[in-house]
Amino acid sequence: MKIGSVFEDQNLEKRVSITPEIAKKYISMGLDVQITKNYGQHLGFTDTVFKDQGVVIVDDAKTLIETSDVITQMGLLDDEKLSILKPNQTYIGVLNLFSNADRLKIFQKKKINFFSLDMLPRITRAQSMDILSSQANLAGYKAVVESFSIFEKAIPMMMTAAGTIPAAKVLVVGAGVAGLQAIATAKRMGAIVFATDVRLASKEQVESLGGKFLVVEGSENLETEGGYAKEASEDFKKKQEDLLAETLKNIDIVICTALIPGKKAPLIIKEKMINNMKTGSVIYDLAASQGGNSAFTEADKIVEKNGVKIMGEKNILNKLPSSSSNLYAKNVFNFVSNLYDKESKKIKINLEDEIIEKTLIK
């Protein structure tokens, strides 16, 4: 069985799904691995390094796609490349149903097995495949670093003979994996950190990292059985809005991380809230690719409103492509290992397996 991956558009995606270390693991399982020329060159993974592990270098994407049984990518390739896919081939990636649902329907008619790793169930057996956690950890860290870089004041409290500089106040919206890493990073850098989340179970985690959890009065636990946040009621949204509006008046930096898998991101930071924030404040919106948690968010732009800078990026992990590729490639390998039947040496789609059933696009 052949597993392959093609070079992606570097303007959109710098991460790769097969590293030399992981290629060696696939080959030890009995799979043939192939990649296109210069696949990992930008990360320091030369074609020679891959060849030394037994990987075949293919001249062009068309040939690779035609001859691979399984194709692993970071995202969804362009329509020209997808049109090359044949029935019963398997395509694995982060397919973002929110923006790609219509495109996927077209290619599903060809009986291609599409697996989207952002739909993995939150169960113990899937932890080693959990790309949302591995990538969100890095995203939460990088969001803090990026927002601090354009905040024009010091972050930690500094006591000098000339006077005291107060510590910056940071609010993290959404205390999932990215949010918790953002809290930890901001605390390490000396900020005073607050956090809010619709899942009450997050309170203990936030406080264990030294953050203060903002509790909405009379709130209920809005958490799905799978461990994700679910949409809040209108009453909860109103109470949350009032609490946030008051809190934001004294906040210097906001890190937005609230996402609902496969849906538009909830709009949490409204225009009137931004109008009441301090001049020089910063909002970093990690949900920009799914519409954003903040008003005025634009992907890959810094928008300034009422003296507040609002940052949004489609893919913050393009700024940490080496670290994120290493983790992503391991996640994909563990997923493929679960799909691969060693006896038949083929992909086995067992819909009684919750991991397979949840991630297969139907």
Cβ–Cβ < 8 Å for 36, 6: yes
For the chain, how many helices (H) and strands (E)?
12, 17
DSSP 229: B
User: Strand pairing partners for 304?
Assistant: 309
Q: Can you give the pLDDT at residue 220?
A: 59
Amino acid at residue number 58: V
Look at residues 189, 188, 225, 222 and name the one whose alpha carbon lies nearest to residue 203.
222
- The residue whose two tokens read 């956090």 is 195
Q: Residue 103, SS3?
A: helix
**Spatial contact of 50 and 38, defined as CB atoms under 8 Å apart:** no
CA distance 266 to 232: 9
Pair of tokens at residue 210: 């030294």
Contacts of 85 (CB under 8 A, 6+ apart): 65, 71, 91, 107, 110, 112
pLDDT at position 224:
61
The CA-to-CA distance between both ends of the chain, in Å, stands at: 24
The yes-or-no answer on residue 130 being catalytic is yes
Nearest 5°: the CA angle 168, 169, 172 is 130
pLDDT of residue 10: 87
Closest to 288 (Cα-Cα) out of 316, 313, 258, 259: 313
**What's the CA dihedral at 226, 228, 231, 236 to 10 degrees?**
110
Question: Of the listed 5, 118, 130, 141, which one is catalytic?
Answer: 130
Quote the DSSP letter at residue 176. S
Q: List, in order, residues 6 or more apart from 343 with CB less than 8 Å away.
A: none
Q: How far apart, in whole angstroms, are the C-alpha atoms of residue 342 and residue 336?
A: 11
pLDDT number for residue 304: 97
For residue 252, what is the DSSP state? S
Catalytic position from the list 83, 127, 208, 233: 127
Residue spans of the chain under pLDDT 50:
none
Q: Which of 228, 323, 337, 353 is catalytic?
A: 228
Tens-digit pLDDT profile for residues 281-324: 999 999 998 899 999 999 999 999 999 999 998 899 999 999 99
For residues 281 and 249, what is the distance between their CA atoms, to the nearest angstrom?
10
Q: Is 69 a catalytic residue?
A: no
Q: Report strand pairing: 308-312 vs 282-285.
A: parallel
Q: Which amino acid is at 32?
A: D
Tokens 């693991």 identify what position? 25
* Distance in angstroms (rounded) separating the CA atoms of residues 112 and 211: 46
Q: Which domains does the chain have, with CATH numbers?
A: 2-119+320-356 (3.40.50.720), 138-318 (3.40.50.720)
Q: By the 8 A CB rule, do 71 and 5 touch? A: yes
For residue 99, the model assigns a pLDDT of 81
Residue 168 token pair? 């910056």
- Among the listed residues 336, 337, 313, 318, the one whose alpha carbon sits nearest the alpha carbon of residue 8: 318
Residue range 134-145, pLDDT digits in tens: 999 999 999 999
Return d(Cα 177, Cα 133) in angstroms, integer.
6
Active-site hit among 53, 73, 116, 133: 133
Does residue 91 carry a catalytic annotation?
Answer: no
Q: Which one is catalytic: 32, 47, 103, 122?
A: 122
Q: Where are the beta strands (DSSP E) in the chain?
A: 2-5, 32-36, 56-58, 70-72, 90-93, 113-116, 158-160, 163-165, 169-173, 192-196, 212-213, 253-256, 282-285, 301-305, 308-312, 340-341, 346-347
CA-nearest of 222, 196, 192, 189 to 210 is 192
Burial 10-37 (b: 16+ CB within 10 A, else e): eeebbbbbbbbebbebbeeeebbbbbbe
